[in-house]
């Protein structure tokens, strides 16, 4: 029997499902402090928590622990990196709380617009202050939804009855899907400039921390309302404080740096404050409890790991794209020459890959250093590049280019003195197969980067490909596949050949000399 510890207030459905399964012993104790509970149950196999802090100390106190499940979406209270080091999978239950949070946003907007919170005690005390509580209607206004995941999408659906114009920002959502939803995609400045209500539904990370700052807040209409039921760190409170005084914007808040009693840093700027009630409904708690139990059972009985959040790749990202990222970096490095120090790396992640850019950097760094552990986190990858003196830029992408689910990698290297050289490659995955679609100016290659490969770039002229083939044949090397395009200016050609065995360095040097190639590379992909 596997012991499951639930040291939190959670609906009984989790305990009942696990006990009915027959493979688990469940201890549910919301009154004992977490440290004491773990000390009393060192043989815990699975830990199901809500907002409790699962620190490295808690994890180390449970030597038999193999699974941690957050009954809810956010898992920032769990030391996922330490769990990974211990071989412990961390899961969450995304979407279980989505409707509760979406309804909370509407409740907060209505309560503020109609002065519900202030009007109730006024009437109870015997006063009749109708003139002081003149309200506003949501109908006909513009709502801006920042982040269109499960919560943002449900909020959009729930607001349809209010006949509001809906603007949305999400770097992944396609124009076609937005139109299907009756949503206008817009950038953040447009949303903050045009919306009467702005609701935040984005995670807090290195890219989003304080993203709602002075520049965006300064665009808001006087009297417009900002609602934060996402994460406290996405809003620059100091900037909000300054702009609010100038523009009389409204700020409704349900999230804080810490979920605990005590003074709150936004108390002077928030017009409505709730104690992180977004997921606090009977239905949401029941959904999260049920999902937590079901996921644990599926994890053990069927090996389903869809909701593991601290593995090498996140749910929603096909592992083939991690292999693609590794291969493109490996190829780009070979083209620039492994002996040249790298000055900078630039990446572009298109379409559905954009949210996974941090994950996809890890295999790229591993392609540079075989000893780099791909299970490390994004911060470790950045630190490695910094330690090596390599600048890194993840570029903004243009969705109109149509490079759906593609990766572009650019390397700039020092070739001596102040001389620099650059290589750029793009690839994607088609029907489970990696494809290199572009090398430099040579586009539409659709070449599978697999096996023994040689690359030559040379001044375009007749007969060169035949000379390359003859030299390979003389060394008893067969050609399995070939691409031989010209660049856009018709000045250079690329000979990209898949061959049946390794080509020795002497042969590559010989061919380079014979055809006077600018680039001559053998690589095993």
Q: What is the mean pLDDT of the chain?
A: 90
95-123 tens-digit pLDDT = 888 999 999 999 999 999 999 999 999 99
pLDDT at 146 over 60: yes
Mean pLDDT within 1-28: 95
Strand ranges of the sheet holding 24-28, from the earlier edge strand across to the other edge: 24-28, 2-6, 44-49, 67-70, 89-92
pLDDT at 372: 67
The pLDDT of residue 171 is: 59
Q: Measure the CA angle with vertex 191, ends 189 and 196; round to 5°.
A: 130
CATH of 2-95+283-302, one of 3.90.45.10, 3.40.50.720, 3.40.190.10, 3.40.718.10: 3.40.50.720
Quick: pLDDT tens for 228-245: 999 999 999 999 999 998
Per DSSP, the three-state class of 427 is strand
pLDDT confidence bin for 76, thresholds 50/70/90: confident
Domain with CATH 3.30.70.260 in the chain: 451-525
CATH topology of domain 451-525: Alpha-Beta Plaits (3.30.70)
Separation between Cα atoms, residue 453 and residue 289, nearest integer Å: 52
Among 441, 353, 342, 423, which Cα is nearest to 394's? 353
Q: How confident is the model at residue 60 (pLDDT cuts 50, 70, 90)?
A: very high
pLDDT score for 94: 81
Q: Confidence band (pLDDT; 50, 70, 90) for 504?
A: very high
The answer to whether 155 and 102 have CB atoms below 8 angstroms apart is yes
Task: Encode pLDDT of 462-493 as tens digits.
Answer: 999 999 999 999 999 999 999 999 887 879 99
**Measured distance CA(203)–CA(205) in Å, rounded:** 6
- The CATH number, out of the four listed (3.30.1490.190, 3.40.50.720, 3.40.50.300, 2.40.40.20), of the domain defined by the range 98-273: 3.40.50.720
Lowest mean pLDDT among 28-37, 179-188, 218-227, 456-465: 179-188
pLDDT score for 176: 65
- What percentage of the chain reaches a pLDDT higher than 90? 70
d(CA 460, CA 445) in angstroms, rounded, equals: 17
Q: What is the DSSP letter of 198?
A: E
CATH class of 315-449: alpha beta
Burial of 116 (0-12, 13-18, 19+ CB in 10 A): middle
pLDDT tens-digit map of 345-365: 999 999 889 889 988 998 898
Q: What is the mean pLDDT of residues 161-181?
A: 80
pLDDT in tens, 15-54: 999 999 999 999 999 999 999 999 999 999 999 999 899 9
Candidate from 367-376, 384-393, 400-409 with smallest mean pLDDT: 367-376
Whole-angstrom distance, CA of residue 435 vs CA of residue 57: 45
Average pLDDT over residues 58-80: 92
The overall longest dimension of the chain from CA atoms, in Å, is 102
Determine the pLDDT at residue 488: 78
The listed range with the strongest mean pLDDT (292-301, 388-397, 416-425) is 292-301
Where, residue-wise, is CATH 3.40.50.720 in the chain? 2-95+283-302, 98-273
204-214 residue pLDDT tens? 877 789 999 99
Q: What percent of the chain has pLDDT over 70?
A: 96
Would the pLDDT of 173 be above 70?
A: no
Report whether pLDDT(375) > 60: no
Which carries the bigger pLDDT value, residue 5 or residue 525?
5
From CA 70, how far away is CA 281, in angstroms rounded?
16
């Amino acid at each position: 029997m596997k012991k499951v510890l639930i040291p939190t207030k959670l609906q009984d459905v989790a305990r009942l499902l696990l006990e009915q399964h027959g493979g688990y012993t469940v201890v549910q104790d919301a009154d004992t402090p977490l440290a004491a509970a773990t000390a009393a149950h060192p043989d815990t196999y699975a830990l199901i928590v809500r907002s409790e802090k699962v620190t490295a100390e808690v994890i180390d106190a449970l030597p038999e622990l193999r699974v941690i499940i957050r009954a809810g979406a956010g898992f920032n209270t769990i030391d996922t990196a330490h769990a990974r080091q211990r071989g412990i999978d961390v899961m969450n239950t995304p979407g279980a709380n989505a409707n509760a949070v979406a309804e909370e946003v509407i409740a907060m907007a209505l309560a503020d617009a109609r002065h519900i919170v202030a009007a109730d005690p006024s009437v109870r005390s015997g006063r009749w202050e109708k003139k002081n509580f003149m309200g506003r209607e949501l109908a006909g206004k513009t709502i801006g939804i920042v982040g269109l995941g499960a919560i943002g999408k449900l909020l959009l659906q729930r607001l349809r009855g209010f006949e509001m114009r809906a603007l949305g920002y999400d770097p992944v959502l396609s124009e076609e899907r937005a139109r299907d939803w009756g949503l206008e995609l817009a950038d953040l400045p447009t949303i903050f400039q045009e919306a009467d209500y702005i609701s935040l539904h984005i995670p807090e990370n290195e890219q989003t921390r304080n993203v709602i700052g002075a520049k965006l807040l300064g665009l808001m209409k006087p009297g417009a309302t900002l609602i934060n039921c996402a994460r406290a760190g996405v809003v620059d409170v100091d900037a909000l404080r300054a702009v609010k005084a100038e523009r009389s914007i409204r700020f409704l808040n349900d999230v804080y740096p810490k979920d605990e009693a005590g003074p709150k840093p936004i108390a002077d700027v928030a017009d409505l404050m709730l104690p992180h009630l977004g997921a606090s409904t009977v239905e949401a708690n029941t959904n999260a409890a049920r999902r937590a139990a079901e996921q644990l059972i599926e994890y053990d009985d069927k090996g389903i790991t869809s909701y593991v959040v601290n593995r090498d790749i996140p749910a929603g990202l096909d592992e083939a794209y991690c292999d693609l990222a590794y291969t493109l970096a490996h190829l780009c490095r070979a083209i620039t020459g492994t002996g040249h120090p790298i000055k900078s790396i630039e990446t572009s992640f298109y379409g559905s890959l954009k949210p996974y850019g941090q994950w996809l950097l890890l295999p790229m760094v591993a392609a540079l250093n075989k000893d780099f552990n791909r299970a490390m986190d994004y911060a470790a990858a950045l630190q490695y590049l910094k330690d090596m003196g390599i600048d890194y830029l993840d570029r903004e992408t243009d969705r109109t280019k149509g490079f759906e689910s593609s990766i572009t990698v650019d390397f700039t290297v020092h070739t001596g003195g102040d001389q620099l050289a650059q290589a750029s490659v793009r690839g994607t995955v088609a029907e489970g197969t990696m494809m290199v679609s572009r090398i430099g100016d040579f586009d539409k290659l659709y070449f599978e980067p697999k096996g023994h490969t040689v690359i030559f770039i040379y001044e375009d002229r007749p007969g060169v490909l035949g000379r390359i083939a003859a030299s390979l044949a003389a060394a008893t090397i067969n050609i399995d596949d070939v691409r031989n395009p010209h660049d856009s200016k018709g000045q250079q050609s690329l000979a990209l050949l898949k061959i049946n065995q390794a080509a020795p360095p002497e042969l590559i040097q010989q061919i380079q000399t014979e055809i006077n190639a600018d680039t001559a590379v053998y690589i095993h992909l």
